[in-house]
Each structure stands twice: as C-alpha cells, then as structure tokens.
Chain A
Amino acid sequence: SAVISQKPSRDICQRGTSLTIQCQVDSQVTMMFWYRQQPGQSLTLIATANQGSEATYESGFVIDKFPISRPNLTFSTLTVSNMSPEDSSIYLCSVRTVSTDTQYFGPGTRLTVL
C-alpha cells in the first residue's frame, strides 16, 4: 500500500476565503482523486487529478470552485475557493497504486467554515 500524507489536518476558515490542501504520496501512483465527505454523508468524488493537465471533474463540481493541480506523480493540491459554511466537510485524497486496483485514502482534512 501507499503512504499518503495530507496537510493541513484540520482548519477553521472564514467565509469568502480560500484554502489549499496538499496531498503527498511516498511512491508513484497511477491515479489520484479528491473526495468530499459532508457531515453525516458518505464520500463523493470531486475530481480526478491528472498529471500535467486539467483535472476531470464530476457532475456538480467546477474548476473555479475547486481548482486542482498535479505537477508530478506523487503530489496534488485541492483548493476550496470563496468558501461558505456549506463547504464544511472532510476532504480526502486517494490514490490508485500501480500494482493493484485498490484505492487508498489519505488521513483527510477537516474543514470548518464560519
């Protein structure tokens, strides 16, 4: 399995500001994903982070709100822009390893927007 780190682990932000979350993997992986888990809900895929090109967003998520970068095979960032209280969630990075179809998750970022 891959070792995944995310930072920050948690943050409390003011409405209208932006937060960038970083995801780092200890080995090269084929795919990286960003998920959101709103309070009391299950996980929903935001987008697939593509190396060196624009991310692929799921229905209901747009680049202006959730810009994503993936400059290399082991690192990605997700920015939550112009935040509102509805953006309060856990944001999770996941990776698909080269050798298996399994997806592993990072430790998550708990975001609270006031």
Chain B
Amino acid sequence: EDKVVQSPLSLVVHEGDTVTLNCSYEVTNFRSLLWYKQEKKAPTFLFMLTSSGIEKKSGRLSSILDKKELFSILNITATQTGDSAVYLCAVSGGSNYKLTFGKGTLLTVNP
C-alpha cells in the first residue's frame, strides 16, 4: 500500500521566516510527487516532481525530490501571512494515476 508521511504536522512562524516542509513516501512504480496548497476547500497545484535533484521554483517557493532517499522538501522563503494554509504532498504510482496524499502540514504565518 502506498504511503506518504509529512512533517511537521503543524508549524507556526513569523513573517519573513524561511520554512522547510518535508514529505517522505513509499510507493509502487513511482510516477511523480506533487505539492498542493489548500486554503479553504480546493487544493491548488504548486509543483510536480519526477526527477531527482532538479529544483522546481516559483517565486518564493521551491521544491526538490530525492528518489534514492524517497523524500521531497518544499521551501518557502520570506514567508507572508498569505502563505498560511495546509500544504499537501501526494504521490502518483502505477498505471491508474491515482494520488495518495499525506496528512498535510498546517502552516501559520503570524504578522
């Protein structure tokens, strides 16, 4: 059974801090790892990672995958209150493209 573990489960920081969110996984026939931001109901897509060592970057957010050690990190620099959300990590494995999600990291950024 595919498994995704995220840490920490919650995190409180001040504006301007840098945070690192962790995601480890076990999956049969790995296809990709995805990061989402969930503020209310709908998860918003952030990154999809398929290859080790290649950093994906979007503004203050970046992410990298290590397929040997089976983990990924999501970095957010110069955090803002608008970054407060649940960050979800998911893996896609096998031929049916279904996603297995971790429990998420609740990030709270205080002014």
- Give complex CA distance A104, B48 in Å: 11
Q: For residue A100, which residue of chain B has the nearest CB?
A: B48
Interface residues of B (CB under 8 A from A): 31-32, 34, 36, 40-45, 48, 50, 88, 90, 92, 96-104
Judged by DSSP, the binding face of A is strand
Judged by DSSP, the binding face of B is strand
- Give complex CA distance A92, B43 in Å: 9
Closest Cβ of chain B to A50, distance in Å, is 11
Q: Which of A14-22, A41-49, A66-74, A78-86 contacts B (4 or more CB under 8 A)?
A: A41-49
- Complex interface bits, A9-51 against B, C-beta within 8 A gives 1, otherwise 0: 0000000000000000000000101000000011111001000
- Give complex CA distance A48, B96 in Å: 9
- The number of residues on chain A lying at the interface, defined by a beta carbon within 8 Å of a beta carbon of chain B, is 26
CB-based contact A43/B98 at 8 Å: no
Known interface pairs A48-B96, A101-B31, A101-B92; A42-B45 also in contact (CB < 8 Å): no
